[in-house]
Amino acid sequence: MDKIVDGVLKFKHEVFPERKALFEDLASGQSPEVLMITCADSRIDPGMITQAEPGDLFICRNAGNIVPPHSTHTGGNTASIEFAVAVLGVTDIVVCGHTDCGAMKGAINPEALTELPHVSNWLAHSRAAVAVARRKYPDLEGKDFLKAVTEENVLLQLQHLRTHPVVAAGLAEGKITLHGWVYDIGHGEVHAYDAATGSFNALAHKKAVA
């Protein structure tokens, strides 16, 4: 914890004064263009990965970068998505998974979650991705199968996103673009889903659309 406190003090005394104009501008409001839904894993830093400035990203984080399908039950994810689209007017939504994801390991092996009932219930939103991966890639095992499940989970959560009324309306009106990403922690590379090829490819400077 001492390291975190030291970081806060360094920010206050060194970083903030250098960027004071930016923070003064942000103090009165925000206008991000991108909603990023990613994992709560401590190794994922959306700002660092994208080299975004404060105010650029509206970020939702949870175990497994999950988007529950829309329902009458109000949850934090649903409210955040609604606010980002309807109020902030984001134009792009990114669902970003990552390599070595513990949530995906749990979805693959639900028997290991008997002592974690809330985690188990949450990961029910990802188990269809496991089923799809098993059907599509019956011979994969270990890290290769985990990679396949991670990618299928991103695509599944994009499907869930489309069930949210504000997202469905934005897509119908051509105001929103969806993106599926997987961040490779060990290589510092992002792979984006390309609907034209049906595969995840290293992100290049082009509009990758799910």
Half-sphere exposure of 155 (CA within 13 A, CB side): 19
Closest residue by Cα to residue 86 from 35, 150, 127, 159? 35
Phi and psi angles of residue 195, each rounded to the nearest 5 degrees, phi first: -60, -30
Q: Which 3 state secondary structure label does DSSP give 161?
A: helix
Q: Alpha helices, DSSP H only, in the chain?
A: 2-10, 16-18, 20-26, 46-50, 76-86, 102-108, 117-123, 127-136, 142-161, 165-172
**188 φ/ψ sector (left φ>0, alpha ψ -120 to 50, else beta):** left
Tell me if 187 is assigned to a ligand binding site.
no
Tell me if 96 is assigned to a ligand binding site.
no
Contact 183, 190 (CB under 8 A): yes
Binding-site positions read 39, 41, 98, 101
Binding-site positions for Zn(2+) read 39, 41, 98, 101
